[in-house]
Structure 1
Amino acid sequence: MADRVGVQKRNLMMLSGSFYIAKDRDSRPQGDDSHFICEEKQTIGLADGVGGWSSHGVDAGLYARELMNNSLLAILTQPDRQIDLMEVLNEAFGKTKAEGSSTVCIITLQEDNMLHAVNMGDSGFMLIRQGAAVYKSPIQQHSFNYPYQLGNSANSDKPWQAQVIKLAVEPGDVIIAGTDGLFDNLSESLILEAAATGIEQGLDPEEVAWPVAQQAYYISLDREAVTPYMQASMMAGQRHIGGKKDDITVIVSRILDT
């Protein structure tokens, strides 16, 4: 009888870096976005405070920053590589008391070598494999420009309404996560184009995030650009021309074989 040969399980890790461009506002230089990278727990997260609160005199970034801080604190109490993201989101939501609301996306690489994510609203992520986008998280919105959002007001959404996502990943895969300032201004093909050189050259994740964020920023100022936001507005019977000025957060993560 032939000996049975065991196959050793591969241990993957996620190396991440980010770049943030805040919308030009003298009154709120931090912008409305917030994010974190937790290498210890192989987890990243981002949030986009809903700007409509500014018309009520509320700093829309406060809720997003508090939500991210509470998410990180909840993650640090979870078992290594066995993070329950819905538990994290519920705990962070319950402890966030700032006025306002926010979209949210949290992504972790688990010990099963699967990518786990919870996503609410129009922030999200793409999974890139061998230069092609093999997955993009869907947008959650009640109507055009009205995304699902966590908050403390009566009409805000709740954590249980977030999408729960689980994806198999391989060494060499790249995740590009971002707020709507990225995805409203750049199509999937333009994001791939902006990231391609850095991915091919094996640059550090933050060096890949930088040109992607910069390209989204340039397009956001272009009044003649054809953008995903412009196309969505036309489908909704509205008329927005060109780029959309917004805060832009980009987190890039590489999946590596340890």
Structure 2
Amino acid sequence: MADRVGAQKGNLMMLSGSFYISKERSSRPQGDDSHFICEEKQTIGLADGVGGWNSKGIDAGIYARELMNNALMAILTQPDRQVDPMTVLSEAYSKTKALGSSTACIITLKDDNMLHAVNMGDSGFMLIRGGVVIYKSPIQQHSFNFPYQLGYSSGNADRPSQAEVIKLGVEPGDVIIAGTDGLFDNLSEDQILEAAARGIEQGLDPEDVAWPVAQRAYNVSMDGQAVTPFMQASTLAGKRHTGGKQDDITVIVSRILDM
């Protein structure tokens, strides 16, 4: 599933595209992830429903999809070029009533030519400039493989106010790669850069950059011998995990352009 949109905002614009691969393509094509790209407000968002709910007979993707739909509705009511990600996340959380829980990341380009973002849990994004990662959002987790999450998680009381608030200056030519943990658990920063490099250098449309990144993450997730960030993190936590981590994979790529 791919998407591509772009619109002017101030002196800069953010052109975005996406690619999504469900872990269970045939039986559950919607998977547990959800995302949106809002052309009018220059805002992107993604969420990853916590898969543990599936073992309780609850579709983990429902909460994530409702959360992102409510986020999009909240964005559309905000003034042009002045979207506040924390306000959006808080409103979306308050209106999401489905049983479940989810991580979330919302990123907007304001008319101050700055990226404003909130990130809850282990989804997130990278900012690339001149082929180098100059920023990566930190992971928020209570313990290994237990990320901060919004919703009705047993023993957890995370709220939007606990999300990481991020503000970054951007320049024409910058590239943002956002993703759920299906991306970042399987590929290192260097591997993501390698998968995206050709498309970035050739100026391909964002969804055509997102596709090879998502596909490489999927291939690694199915490789029982791969050395992955998730495997390395499990070792540090005193756990044991070998190879890739099978998961839903969402990738959103955004280019910053000078208008």
TM-score normalised by structure 1 residue count: 0.95
Determine the structure 2 residue equivalent to 1:67.
Answer: 67
Q: Runs in 1 of length 4+ with deviation above 4 angstroms? A: none
**Runs of 5+ consecutive residues of structure 2 not aligned to the other structure:** 1-9
**Runs of 5+ consecutive residues of structure 1 not aligned to the other structure:** 1-9
Alignment RMSD (CA, Å): 1.0
- d(CA) in 1 for partners of 2:24, 2:100: 20
Is the aligned partner of 1:197 residue 2:198?
yes
- d(CA) in 1 for partners of 2:228, 2:193: 15
- d(CA) in 1 for partners of 2:25, 2:53: 15
Determine the structure 1 residue equivalent to 2:244.
Answer: 243
> Which AA in structure 2 matches 1:186?
L
8 Å CA contact 2:63–2:100 kept in 1: the answer is yes
> Which AA in structure 1 matches 2:234?
S
Note the 1:71-150 alignment, pairs <5 A.
71-150=71-150
Determine the structure 1 residue equivalent to 2:18.
Answer: 18
Note the 1:173-212 alignment, pairs <5 A.
173-212=174-213
Determine the structure 1 residue equivalent to 2:39.
Answer: 39
* Percent identity of paired positions between Structure 1 and Structure 2: 80
- May I ask how many residue pairs the two structures share in their alignment? 249
Q: Give the structure with higher Rg (CA).
A: 1
- d(CA) in 2 for partners of 1:151, 1:65: 12
8 Å CA contact 1:71–1:88 kept in 2: the answer is yes
- d(CA) in 2 for partners of 1:30, 1:11: 36
Secondary structure (helix, strand or coil) at the match of 1:212 reads: helix
8 Å CA contact 2:84–2:116 kept in 1: the answer is no
Secondary structure (helix, strand or coil) at the match of 2:37 reads: strand
- d(CA) in 1 for partners of 2:231, 2:60: 23
- d(CA) in 2 for partners of 1:180, 1:59: 18
Secondary structure (helix, strand or coil) at the match of 2:80 reads: coil
What CA deviation, in whole Å up to 9, does each residue of 1:120-157 have, x standing for no partner?
Answer: 00000000000000000000000000000000346241
8 Å CA contact 1:101–1:156 kept in 2: the answer is no
The structural deviation recorded for 1:28 is 2.6
Between stretches 59-68 and 81-90, larger displacement belongs to 81-90
